[in-house]
Amino acid sequence: MQKAVRLTGFGIYSLLCIGVAGYAFYFLQMPVNPHNDFQQKLLASGWEVPLHFYASGLALLLIPLQLSRLIRKRWLSFHRYLGVVYALAVLTGGVAGLVMAFNASGGWVARLGFTSLAVLWLGTTTLAVKCAIERNITRHQVWIYRSMALTSGAITLRLFLGLGLGVFQLPFLTVYVPTSWLSWMLNLAICEFILWQQRRSVVA
């Protein structure tokens, strides 16, 4: 029963990763809505927007493969290769996201939220790579889980925006500003709880 629940959760999470990554790849090709100021602002921006969308989408797309126990056990070299691609995607998407954060809608609160996300995203991924190079697999897993939790902020962001704008019909900035923080803080909190449970089960 527990295994079935875990596999179901992993399947749903994988579909969300694929769906949001696909949206990121498609976003810049979407028809321009003249009444959507946010879309027009993004499309009028410079190199950082396509770089962030494509690189971050790639990082998100790789998460289910990186989490696959089957790949790690049978094709370790492939897992390591994907890890290098993931790290490069985060580096590219994180730097571009940091540039975007300085001009984010919603004033300094939203800008600080997205800047914090970009810095933590780059930092956790760097530490995960460092631990992998040092063959400290236990610490590598801890830091890569945190990195993936932050990568998944793209999923949480869109869920919150869809709920706030689509379901509750709230004004854009009313939803967007708190989401600039909640989209990644919630993921990180859940990740830390899971890591705490894992440490407790090992001790027990």
Q: What are the pLDDT digits (tens) for 90-104?
A: 999 999 999 999 988
Question: Which residue do the tokens 């494509």 mark?
Answer: 54
Nearest partner of 59 among 157, 142, 158, 149, judged by Cα: 149
Q: What are the pLDDT digits (tens) for 109-132?
A: 999 999 999 999 999 999 999 999
Tell me the Ramachandran region of residue 169: left when phi exceeds 0, alpha when psi lies from -120 to 50, beta otherwise: left
Six token digits for residue 36? 């959507």
Question: Which residue do the tokens 């854009």 mark?
Answer: 172
Higher pLDDT, 199 or 201: 199
pLDDT given at position 44: 67
Cβ neighbours for 54, distance < 8 A, ≥ 6 positions apart: 24, 25, 93
Q: What are the pLDDT digits (tens) for 13-67?
A: 999 999 999 999 988 787 766 666 666 777 667 788 889 999 999 999 999 999 9
CA 59 to chain centre: 8
pLDDT range class, residue 2, cuts 50, 70, 90 = confident
pLDDT range class, residue 12, cuts 50, 70, 90 = very high
Spatial distance between the Cα atoms of 170 and 176, rounded to a whole number of angstroms: 10
Go through 69-97 and write b for each residue having 16 or more CB atoms within 10 A of its CB, e for each that does not: eeeeeeeeeebeebbeebbebbbbbbbbb
Question: Which residue do the tokens 């300085």 mark?
Answer: 102
What is the CB neighbour count within 10 angstroms for residue 67? 16
Cβ neighbours for 202, distance < 8 A, ≥ 6 positions apart: none
pLDDT surpasses 90 at 167 = yes
